[in-house]
Amino acid sequence: MKHLLKMSDLSREEIISLLNLADQLKYEQKHGITHHRLAGQTLGMIFQKSSTRTRVSFEAGMYQLGGSAMFLSSRDLQIGRGEPVQDTARVLSRYLDGIMIRTFAQQEVEDLARYGSIPVINGLTDYCHPCQILADLLTIREYKGAFEGLKFCYIGDGNNMANSHIVGALTVGMKVSIACPKGYHPHPDVLKFAESYGDQFQLSDQVLEMAAGADVVATDVWASMGQEDEAAQRAAAFAGFQVNDAVMEAANPGAMVLHCLPAHREEEITEKVFEAHADEIFDEAENRLHAQKAVMVRLMQK
């Protein structure tokens, strides 16, 4: 494993091994055990989009591992004035030990990895959000003990989160059902990946049918970063695609709810369901820290 560019870069074994390392790092942090596995190393963090969790968890995680993290806004970098990613990658590789990037096009992340010589971590693109999925899988395993036999249901936009959830959940052995309106389906590459899982995967616009018997229910905003001008049109298209009491009644008793955050209450999830499952959702947010520390150690430890 040289980079983390998308979920399908990881085999089941690699995911489980990362989750085990995340558990270990979480234990060490909670028990005050110093774990400077990346002492003296520097992570550059390029942000072309806003962030609370990704920025803070990577930066804090890097400090906890004995290294340092550098926030690089595209507003300030020459990349924002047109310096090619090929050159940026080669320059940053001379200074840093790893790069985390949040941007729009997946190709930019792939190019950074291709032209640079240090590990690259995808901190969200329009296509996927692998760091979030590792945190989500860590949270599911904490609550449910194992993945086998579980049904994972995602309701809403077939966006970066949906794409990564599908790949991650199928890879670790869960059944996956996706409820999306027509015209907002997940990426064709992801649907092709899911095809090979046969009846382990379902996609439909029938929300309650997809939610039936689910052990994990997940959702995300209806308009992602960069789609703000489509918000009204999207609100109409997604009107029936809300995680609410009816969905939770269709799901298994004891089903957990995940949301990558930020959440828009009364849009993709009701306030009531959100608050009833706040423990899971904020454990999920915390687990970004532990999962990403595992990714950094795996990729950067010399």
Interface positions with ligand CP (CB under 6 A): 51-54, 124, 132, 260-261
CB of 215 to ligand CP, least distance (A): 22
CB of 126 to ligand NVA, least distance (A): 7
The partner in contact with residue 52, picked from ligand CP, ligand NVA, none with C-beta cut-offs of 5 to 8 angstroms by kind, is: ligand CP
260 belongs to the catalytic site: yes
- The answer to the question of residue 159 lying near ligand NVA (CB under 6 A) is yes
Nearer to ligand CP, 35 or 264 (CB): 264
CB of 261 to ligand NVA, least distance (A): 7
132 belongs to the catalytic site: yes
Site map (CB under 6 A) of ligand NVA, residues 23-62, x = contact: ----------------------------------------
224, 242, 270, 287: which one binds ligand NVA (CB under 6 A): 224
131 belongs to the catalytic site: no
Nearer to ligand CP, 88 or 160 (CB): 160
- The answer to the question of residue 260 lying near ligand NVA (CB under 6 A) is yes
Q: DSSP string covering the chain, please?
A: ---B-SGGGS-HHHHHHHHHHHHHHHHHHHTT----TTTT-EEEEEESS--SHHHHHHHHHHHHTT-EEEEEETTTSGGGGT--HHHHHHHHHHH-SEEEEE-S-HHHHHHHHHH-SS-EEE---SS--HHHHHHHHHHHHHHHS--TT-EEEEES--SHHHHHHHHHHHHHT-EEEEE--TT-PPPHHHHHHHHTTGGGEEEES-HHHHHTT-SEEEE--SS-TT-GGGHHHHHHHTTT--B-HHHHHHSPTT-EEEE-S---BTTTB-HHHHHHTHHHHHHHHHHHHHHHHHHHHHHH--
For 214, the token pair is: 């689910």
- The answer to the question of residue 122 lying near ligand NVA (CB under 6 A) is no
22, 155, 161, 289: which one binds ligand NVA (CB under 6 A): 161
Question: How many residues form the binding site for ligand NVA (CB under 6 A)?
Answer: 9
The catalytic residue positions are 102, 129, 132, 220, 260, 288
Q: Where do contacts with ligand NVA occur on this chain (CB under 6 A)?
A: 124, 159-161, 220-221, 224-225, 260
